Structure 1
Amino acid sequence: MPNITLSLPKDLKSNMDKLPEVNWSEITREFLSEKVKRLVLLKKLDKMLENSELTEKDCIRMGREAKKSMHDKFLKKVA
């Protein structure tokens, strides 16, 4: 597995050193993996939507409707 080197502020490194039980390599690997997945997905979505006629306002409205629908389904499930 390739290695990378990071530069950290001294106070952050000092605080990390106070937590020797934490596997910082694993946490960093997981964080970077998730970040890359999200960025790749966003890039794909941008490509898919580049010719879309939806406005930002339309997207926000649809997002709110989807969120409300999911919330309502969850409430029915737990009721």
Structure 2
Amino acid sequence: MVNMTLSIPEELHKKMKTHKEIRWSEVARHAIEQRIDDLEVMNRITSKSKLTKKDAEEISKKIKRSAANRFDEYSNRH
């Protein structure tokens, strides 16, 4: 197994030290594995996609507009 060193903020380290029962290397390993799994799923999905970056940006704008409209409608009712 490969060893890896990482830097964390001092405040986070203080909080971690209050939970000595937790194996933080295992927590980090699990988080990294989960992120890799998520990225692999995303890569499989996007590798089959015909969308261009411009298409994706346009869809993103439409979704944001729709969400804003729904929020406005909800706010006006309450």
TM-score by length of 2: 0.63
Instruction: Give 1:27 deviation, angstroms.
Output: 0.9
**Structure 2: gaps (5+ residues):** 64-78
Query: Which segments of 5 or more consecutive residues in structure 1 lack a partner in the other structure?
Result: 61-79
Question: How far, CA to CA, are the matches of 2:25 and 2:9 in structure 1?
Answer: 17
Query: After TM superposition, which residue ranges in structure 1, 4 or more long, deviate above 4 angstroms?
Result: none
The equivalent of 1:33 in structure 2 is 33
Measure the CA separation in 1 of the matches of 2:27 and 2:8: 15
- Identical aligned residues as a percent: 27
RMSD: 2.1
The number of residues matched between the two structures is: 57
Give the drift of 1:33. Answer: 0.2
1:19 positional shift = 0.7
Q: Once the two structures are superposed, what CA deviation does each residue of 1:23-55 show, in whole Å capped at 9, x if it has no partner?
A: 101111111001001011111111111x15x97
The residue that corresponds to 1:47 in the other structure is 47
